[in-house]
Amino acid sequence: MKDRSPFGIAGIWENWRNPGGEWVRTFALLTTPANELVGTIHDRMPAVLAPRDYKRWLGTEPDPRDLLQPFPSDLMTIWPISTRVNSTSNDDEQLLDEIELANERPAGAA
């Protein structure tokens, strides 16, 4: 978020018993088409929930699918971060530090 406030992401979970009889808890994050901001880097994004919608998403309503919309881009910001984020062995605050991007070549440059 632009104001650096925490935000929720829509997800689903289920407990199930594997063939060996062990209980397994699985999770999935839900995605939506990207908004204008995220669309500059990818065609989809997590389904971000506004704090006012947390109770509704987590409640007993049978079908809150209208919450699965691209989050307004004017409330968000993005910045480049290290590719270290791609490895689960990295788990530190520096993953969110902004990095400088290498200069891109102008169109038609060799």
Is residue 105 in a domain? Answer: no
DSSP tag of 56: H
DSSP tag of 21: S
Q: Which domain holds residue 77?
A: 8-96
Q: How far is CA 44 from CA 37, 41, 56, 63, 69, in A?
A: 11, 9, 23, 21, 11
Give the pLDDT mean for 9-28: 96
In this model, does residue 26 exceed pLDDT 90? Answer: yes
Is residue 107 in a domain? Answer: no
Give pTM, 2 decimals: 0.75
What is the percent of the chain where pLDDT is above 90?
Answer: 84
Q: Per this entry, what is the length of the chain?
A: 110
Is residue 60 in a domain? Answer: yes
Give the pLDDT mean for 77-96: 93
Domain of residue 50, CATH code: 3.90.1680.10
In this model, does residue 73 exceed pLDDT 50? Answer: yes
Number of domains in the chain: 1
Mean pLDDT taken over the chain: 91
Is residue 66 in a domain? Answer: yes
Is residue 41 in a domain? Answer: yes
Is residue 103 in a domain? Answer: no
Contacts of 47 (CB under 8 A, 6+ apart): 9, 10, 29, 30, 31, 32, 67, 68, 69, 71
